């Protein structure tokens, strides 16, 4: 999958992409990362990418010319493939696991990282296919949001994770539940013991326990998610909720 990232701070993106799973994914030819510095497309010798807003007000606005040129360059680099242009913006659609799965099936994506007060609106009208927000808060720039998108998409691509079942069992997976608790050695730590069922070797009971924990965690920790799940629970799930876990 192709990731084009357009930013005025490429080092933020490059440092993360050069580590751990992101690096292995590119080495395995599963992903192809291209980080473009928008300043390289500026029209003046000072590589200016921002200016004062018309109408006055605080802050600066990213200029149309360099941003447009960067988008067009990134788009033409993969023609005739049409990669969607996504602008990281607090006004965008909230990013979630379902969107990550949807994007993981695409051939690629162009991620546009804004700064300051945002982009000249004409860039959005001309080039942007979708605006994405990673939460109801404001960041200094779109770079962290872009990395969140890249990470959550990449780990869903075939061959990226060591165990392909890991992504399927994550929180917010296809069943919409939070993940169950996990434990490792030692069995006893700080006067706390690993649940006996996990030590039993009884795979059916372990699977049942994990499902029960996912149900209970989602119900108690994310009531907003639970109200959408409760109406479609199976008979087996309803029985698990009735079992005393003490």
Asked if 131 is an active-site residue, the reply is no
Catalytic one among 155, 211, 217, 222? 155
Q: Are strands 32-37 and 50-51 parallel, antiparallel or unpaired?
A: unpaired
- Cβ–Cβ < 8 Å for 232, 210: no
Phi-psi region of 216 (alpha: psi -120 to 50; beta: other; left: phi over 0): alpha
Q: How far apart are CA 14 and CA 7, in angstroms?
A: 11
| SS3 per residue for 118-149 | CECHHHHHHHCCEEEECCCCCCCECHHHHHHH
Positive/negative CA dihedral, 120, 121, 126, 130: positive
Instruction: Tell me which of 117, 151, 175, 179 is the catalytic residue.
Output: 117
Active site residue 155: yes
Active site residue 179: no
Nearest C-alpha neighbor of 150 from the set 9, 13, 7: 13
| Active-site residue, from 90, 175, 211, 237 | 90
**Secondary structure letter of residue 231 according to DSSP:** G
Measure the CA–CA gap between 182 and 204, rounded to whole angstroms. 17
Active-site position among 170, 179, 208, 230: 170
What would the two tokens of residue 81 be? 């493939």
90 is catalytic: yes
* Residue in 32, 31, 40, 30 with CA at minimum distance from that of residue 10: 40
Catalytic residues: 90, 117, 155, 170
């Amino acid at each position: 999958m192709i990731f084009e990232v357009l930013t005025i701070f490429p080092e933020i993106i490059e440092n993360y992409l050069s580590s751990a799973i992101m690096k292995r994914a590119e080495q395995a030819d599963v992903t192809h990362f291209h980080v473009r510095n928008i300043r390289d497309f500026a029209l003046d010798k000072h590589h200016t990418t921002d200016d004062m807003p018309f109408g006055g007000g605080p802050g600066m606005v990213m200029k149309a010319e360099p941003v447009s040129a960067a988008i067009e360059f990134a788009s033409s680099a993969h023609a005739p493939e049409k990669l969607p242009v996504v602008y990281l913006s607090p006004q965008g659609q909230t990013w979630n696991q379902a969107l990550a799965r949807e994007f993981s099936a695409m051939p690629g994506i162009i991620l546009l990282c804004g700064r300051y007060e945002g982009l000249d609106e004409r860039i959005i009208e001309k080039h942007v296919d979708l605006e994405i927000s990673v939460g109801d808060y404001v960041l200094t720039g779109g770079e962290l949001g872009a990395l969140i998108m890249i990470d959550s998409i990449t780990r869903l691509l075939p061959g990226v994770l060591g165990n392909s079942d890991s992504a399927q069992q994550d929180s917010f997976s296809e069943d919409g539940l939070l993940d169950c608790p996990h434990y490792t050695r030692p069995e006893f730590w700080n006067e706390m013991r690993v649940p006996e069922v996990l030590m039993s070797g009884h795979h059916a009971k372990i699977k049942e326990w994990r499902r029960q924990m996912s149900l209970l965690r989602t119900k108690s920790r994310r009531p907003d998610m639970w109200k959408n799940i409760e109406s479609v629970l199976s008979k087996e799930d309803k029985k698990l909720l009735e079992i005393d876990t003490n």
